[in-house]
Amino acid sequence: MKWIDTHTHLYSEQFDDDRDEMMQRAFRDGVETLLLPNIDKDSIRPMLDLAQKYPTQCHPMMGLHPGSVRADWAEQLSLMKAYFSSHKMIAVGEIGMDLYWDKTFIEEQKKAFRQQIDWAKELQLPIVIHARDAFDEIFEIIDDTIDDRLSGVFHCFTGNREQANKVLTYPNFFIGIGGVITYKKAALDEVLVNVPLDKMMMETDSPYLPPVPYRGKRNESSYLVYSAQKLADTHQIKLSELAEITSSNAKKLFKI
């Protein structure tokens, strides 16, 4: 089986002591393609360095994470925009809104999200959406900007059935599934059982949100199979079939 981890921060300093070994574990377990979302100006160089070291396996994105939107958001975006000309990026990401920790910069988050959506349309690239306690705000912006040039994925989806159904109304959007599907209290499997497999793709969001049985520890891309097994069980299909479907979805969206 061959898997695509569509969202993984393997350039994080949490992997500095054993990054090469961690990468080999992923390859050993069939996770052969790794998509790297950017966070802020400080993560650009580590991300690009990793992509340069593993050019056939690692593919970078460029964007400003909503949690990093501060007073200097416009300057950060100006810096990031230039990288689309000098490097091959597969997506604009990770972008979106996060109102869980702090709502101080809510208006700036909205402006940054809209500007990066404009980039995606201009560059004909998908967007990778971070949505935490902000589905309504994000849906409002997507509804206002969507056209046939806009595509993307709601990464690490944790929404309810109504929110999943809303995502399904967007023709060129997918739902990213990670470790949260293995958390009993999340009851995400009860939401996803009604989501067509051709609208989903797998991710880990490493080093965050590890699946059971690694909850509480550092996540890594080799753990993707635990979330995948839960999704396969939910839809009552073979793991190999899920690998083929979700990898095909990722290839379609990211053109890899």
- Write the CATH number for 193: 3.20.20.140
Domain membership flag for residue 225: yes
Range of the domain at 214: 3-13+23-254
Mean pLDDT of the chain: 97
Domain membership flag for residue 18: no
pLDDT of residue 225: 98
**How many domains are there within the chain?**
1
Which pLDDT tens digit goes with each residue over 69-116?
999 999 999 999 999 999 999 999 999 999 998 899 999 999 999 999
Position 54, amino acid: Y
pLDDT of residue 221: 98
Q: Which is nearest to 256 in space by CA: 86, 32, 49?
A: 32
- Give pTM, 2 decimals: 0.98
Which pLDDT tens digit goes with each residue over 113-122?
999 999 999 9
pLDDT of residue 101: 86
Q: Name beta bridge partners: 96.
A: 130
Domain membership flag for residue 40: yes
Q: Which is nearest to 28 in space by CA: 55, 64, 3?
A: 3
Domain membership flag for residue 189: yes
Position 79, amino acid: L
**Which residue stretches of the chain have pLDDT < 50?**
none
Position 60, amino acid: P
Domain membership flag for residue 55: yes
Domain membership flag for residue 76: yes
CA pair distance 42, 56, nearest whole angstrom? 24
